[in-house]
Amino acid sequence: MKKIVCESYKDMCRVAADIYTGQLKEKPNSVLGLATGSTPIGLYKELIRRYEAGELDFSNAQSFNLDEYYPIDSTHHQSYAYFMNEQLFDKINLSKTQIPSGAATDPMAECARYDEEICKAGGIDLMLLGIGHNGHIGFNEPATSYHVGAHLVSLTESSINANSRFFGADEKQPTEALTMGIGHIFSAKKIILLISGAAKAEITRKLFEGMIHTDVPACLLLLHPNLTIIVDKEANGE
Ligand code: GLP
């Protein structure tokens, strides 16, 4: 595991964007695993900037997002599909983008289809992750056992509360989600975990204790052979 502590959130996004630049140079047809949440927004901005400056080309690459609320329509402004279009997909030239469908009538069939698509693409080359306050990755919530494949998950109170800030008082916040399982996250060739802000200092400290807490899903990542954790000073407790 490689840990990089950055002076600021901006630096963190630049360091992460450098990894993408290297990845796409090395393998232009990379399969990118992408995340939502506020943490990757600065990275997405930097990727867009580099694309517009002609420094990055995504035309041979494709992406799979980690998760999506369920049920939710992709046109809903809080869906992760909407978020990704706004924050990244509409502004760069990825050849293909995929997100589990929050509008699928049969969520189990949708999960099986998503797993199959990831397998057909040859798995994820570079997986981007954020972390929930409770250590969740994607929407793999703290548990004693974890799904290998994509699945429908009931969100914990902690995750519902953390994400409630995005929903208006009159909007119904989904309490379930479809998420990539630990298996596909883990079989990614490289993983980048971004952690920013003082509110994540406690979970960051736990992550770096040098112990595998089985009820902190992100701890499982410490077993991955090519994991880079990029934190800013606040998240690092400085
Ligand atoms: C959501 C997403 C996660 C993300 C987490 C943290 O729960 N499903 O993939 O890592 O939010 O979000 P933020 O970066 O806003 O703290």
Confidence at residue 169, expressed as pLDDT on a 0 to 100 scale: 84
Beta-ladder partners of 152? 178
Give the single-character DSSP code of 37: S
Give me the residues of the chain with pLDDT under 50, please. Answer: none
User: Does residue 157 have an active-site annotation?
Assistant: no
User: Does residue 76 have an active-site annotation?
Assistant: no
**Residue 100 CB less than 6 A away from ligand 1:** no
Confidence at residue 170, expressed as pLDDT on a 0 to 100 scale: 85
Q: Going by CA atoms, what residue is nearest to atom 6 of ligand 1?
A: 132
Q: Which candidate in 11, 134, 147, 213 is catalytic?
A: 134
Confidence at residue 171, expressed as pLDDT on a 0 to 100 scale: 87
Euclidean distance between CA atoms 182 and 140, whole angstroms: 7
What digits encode the pLDDT tens for the residues 73-117?
A: 999 999 999 999 999 999 999 999 999 999 999 999 999 999 999
Confidence at residue 29, expressed as pLDDT on a 0 to 100 scale: 98
Confidence at residue 165, expressed as pLDDT on a 0 to 100 scale: 87
This prediction's pTM:
0.96
Closest CA to 173 of 122, 102, 100: 102
Q: Going by CA atoms, what residue is nearest to atom 9 of ligand 1?
A: 138
CB neighbour list of residue 234: distance below 8 Å, 6 or more residues apart: 196, 197, 198, 200, 201
Count CA atoms within 13 Å of residue 194 on its CB side: 27
Q: Going by CA atoms, what residue is nearest to atom 10 of ligand 1?
A: 130
Q: Which atom of ligand 1 is nearest to the CA of 38?
A: 15
